[in-house]
Amino acid sequence: MKTTAQFLFTGAVLLAGLTASPKARGQAQAAATGPGSYLAVGGTGSIFQEDYGKQHIVGPGAFVDLNPTWRYGVEAEARFLRYNTDEQVTEDNYLIGPRIAVRPGPIRPYVKLMVGAGHIVLPFNYAEGTFFTMAPGGGVEYLVGDRLAVRVVDFEYQLWQNFPYGALRPYGLSAGISFRINDLSRYPKYARRFRR
């Protein structure tokens, strides 16, 4: 089941990348719309209250942001919470969903709503399972330059459905960095051509 969740997550990321089409270049964008589309990849460190056992566990993660505009985009993330556990309880997340930036500028708050799979291994490997997960959240990024951004804080509150002992509700914080694959377009190309 864990392999299936990883396969679905990878497929969703690839599909999002393949279906993104470049913007038409017939007219220039208005300068007030802010920076254009971008693709960014990043890594995080996370600390979560696991909800099963009420213990704080930590681990690394990775994410991809695909933004057709500076405001609206899709984020896909994978997180592996496997450290600081006394009873070998681990949780992994494979999530994807819309992400909306609140305002442009070097300090960029955002909100997101992720869905996907949460995988848990119970104490001492007694049992494990994968469950449908919803995760609203938000955070703040700081744009260091045209290609580098610091994810200052990212908060998620997760709801794992159909867990045998009642829904799990892990929540936690992440922080990290991301690297923009394409150049940041601060101004529309050929803008002078259309000025009057």
What pLDDT is attached to residue 195? 40
Residue 175 has pLDDT above 90, yes or no: yes
Q: Hey, which residues does 121 pair with through a beta bridge?
A: 90, 128
What pLDDT is attached to residue 85? 80
What pLDDT is attached to residue 53? 72
Please name each of the domains of the chain with its CATH number.
2-8+40-186 (2.40.160.20)
Q: Report which of residues 133 and 122 the model is more confident about.
A: 133
What pLDDT is attached to residue 141? 95
For residue 83, give both structure tokens: 């450290």
Residue 135 has pLDDT above 90, yes or no: yes
pLDDT in tens, 88-131: 888 999 999 999 999 888 999 999 999 999 998 887 778 788 88
Give yes or no for a contact between 160 and 16, defined as CB atoms under 8 angstroms apart: no
Residue 143 has pLDDT above 50, yes or no: yes
Q: Is 142 helix (H, G, I), strand (E, B) or coil?
A: strand
CA 170, CA 50: separation in Å to the nearest integer? Answer: 5
User: In this structure, which amino acid lies at residue 151?
Assistant: R
What pLDDT is attached to residue 186? 53
pLDDT in tens, 56-67: 999 999 999 999
